[in-house]
Amino acid sequence: MTAYIMEWASLLLRWLHVITAIAWIGSSFYFVWLDLSLRKREGLPKGAHGESWSVHGGGFYHVQKYLVAPERMPEELHWFKHESYFTWLSGFCLLAVTYYYGANTYLVDTAVADLSAMQAIGISIASLVGGWVFFDQLCKSKLGENLWVLAAILFVFLMASGWAYSEIFSARATLLHVGAMIATWMTGNVFFIIIPNQKKVVATLKAGGKADPIYGKIAKQRSTFNNYLTLPVLFMMLSNHYPMTYGIDALWLVVGLVILIGATIRSWFNFGHEGRSGVARQWQWPVAGVLTVVLAWVLYVPPAQLEAGEAVISDAEAVALVQTHCVACHGPVLAAAMKGVQLHTLDSIIKNKDSIYAQAVASQAMPMGNASGMTEAERRALGLWIQAQ
C-alpha cells in the first residue's frame, strides 16, 4: 500500500512540477523578450525607459518600462513570483519522494561511496543550502560586479560540483543534483533578492520617497543568471530518464558542455530580442551544434571487443545472468510496473537486447542501485553475448 501511495505522490508531484515550471519559464522568457524588445521613442512619459508593442489574441498590447518606477504607483500591481516558488517546492518534494524515500535505490551507490541513506540525504540537503550561500555571497562580492567574471567562476564551480556529486552519489543522481543546485539558486534569487528589492522600491514610492536604482541593478544581475541557466537546468532534470547521459565517469565534463550549449542557444534568442543581426546572430547554432556533437562523443560508450582467448557465453548462461540480476523487477509479477518489460525467457531477452545493453552494460544504470551486485565481468560477458546476437 505504501508503494502505491508513493507512486501516486510521485506522479502528482511530477505533474505539478511540470505545470509550474512551464508557468515560470514561460513568464521568464516572456519578460526577457519584453525587456530586450523595448525601444526609446518620442513621446514617452517621464521616467519611462522604453516601450514595446505586440499583438496577441486579437488585440494590441502597449507596454512601457520604468527602470525605477513611475511618478504615481498604480492601484493594481501584478507580481510574478509564485510560479518560481511552486516550481522549486514541487521539485524538492519530488526529490524527496523519489531520491530520499528511495535513497538506497536511486541516491546511494555503494560502489561509489559506502553511505547510509540518512548520510546521503543529509549531504544532499546540505549541498543545496551550502551551494546557495556560496552563490549568493559571490554575487554580492566585488567579483559579482563583473558578469563575465561571475559567470566564469560559477562555470568552474558547477563542473567541480558535478565531479564532487559523482564521487558521492549514484551516477543517476549526479546531474540531477547539479540541476537542483542551480534551480535552488534561481528560486533563491527570486525569493531572497528580486522580490524583496522590488517590495522595498514599492514601499519607498508609496511613502513618497525616491527609490534607489541599485535595487534594479541587483535584480538585473540575478535575472540575467536565471535566464542563461534555464536550458541547462532543464537538460539536467531530464537526464535521469536517459541513462546514456550519465553512463560515464567524467560527469563534470557533461555539466560543462550542457551549460555551454544551453547558454549559447539562449544568447541567440536574447540577441534577436535586442534587434541584433549579422555575425551577432550567426555563430550560436553552429557552435551549439559542434558542442552537442562533442557531448554525444563524450557520452558514447564503444562496444566491448572480444579479446584473445575470450569466448562468448552461451544462451543458457546469458539467461541465467539476466534472471539473477533483472527478473526480480522484470519478471511476470512486476512487469506492469516496469513498463511492461519481462526478461524471464530467452525470447524476451533477445527482444529487449538493445535496451538491456543500454541500461545494464553501456550506462550500468541497471540493476537500480546495483542491488543484486552485478559485477563488471558479468556486464562485459552479457554485452559481448548481446553483440553476438
Three-state DSSP string of 300-320: CCCCCCCCCCCCCCCHHHHHH
pLDDT at 164: 98
Q: How many CA atoms lie within 13 A of 24 on its CB side?
A: 27
How confident is the model over 254-277, as pLDDT tens digits? 999 999 999 999 999 999 998 899
Encode the chain (389 residues) as per-residue pLDDT tens digits.
787 898 899 999 999 999 999 999 999 999 999 999 999 998 898 888 899 999 999 999 999 998 877 777 778 888 999 999 999 999 999 999 999 999 998 999 888 999 999 999 999 999 999 999 999 999 999 999 999 999 999 999 999 999 999 999 999 999 999 999 999 999 999 999 999 998 888 888 888 888 788 888 898 899 999 999 999 999 999 998 898 899 888 999 999 999 999 999 999 999 999 889 999 999 999 999 999 999 999 999 888 788 877 889 999 999 999 999 988 888 776 655 566 788 888 999 999 998 899 888 988 888 887 888 899 999 999 999 999 88
pLDDT confidence of residue 358? 87
Q: What is the pLDDT of residues 293-339, one digit of tens each?
A: 999 999 998 887 888 778 899 999 999 999 999 888 887 766 555 66
Question: Strand, helix or coil at 235?
Answer: helix
> Residues, the chain, total?
389
Contact predicate 175/245, CB 8 Å: yes
At 33, phi and psi to the nearest 5? -60, -45
Crossing angle for the helix pair 82-95 and 2-37, to the nearest 10 degrees: 150
- The residue behind cell 555503494 is 110
Smallest CA-to-CA distance from 322 within 355, 276, 369 is with 355
**Which cell numbers hold the place of 20?**
509550474
Q: Domains of the chain: which residue ranges? A: 2-299, 315-387
Record the pTM: 0.90
pLDDT given for residue 174 in this prediction: 96
Q: Which residues contact 369 (CB under 8 A, 6 or more apart)?
A: 104, 105, 106, 108, 109, 170
At 215 the pLDDT is 87
User: What confidence score (pLDDT) does residue 178 get?
Assistant: 98
CA 166 to CA 254: how far, in whole Å?
12
The pair phi, psi for residue 45, each rounded to 5°, is: -60, 160
Per-residue confidence (pLDDT) for residue 336, from 0 to 100: 54
Supply the pLDDT for residue 363.
Answer: 84
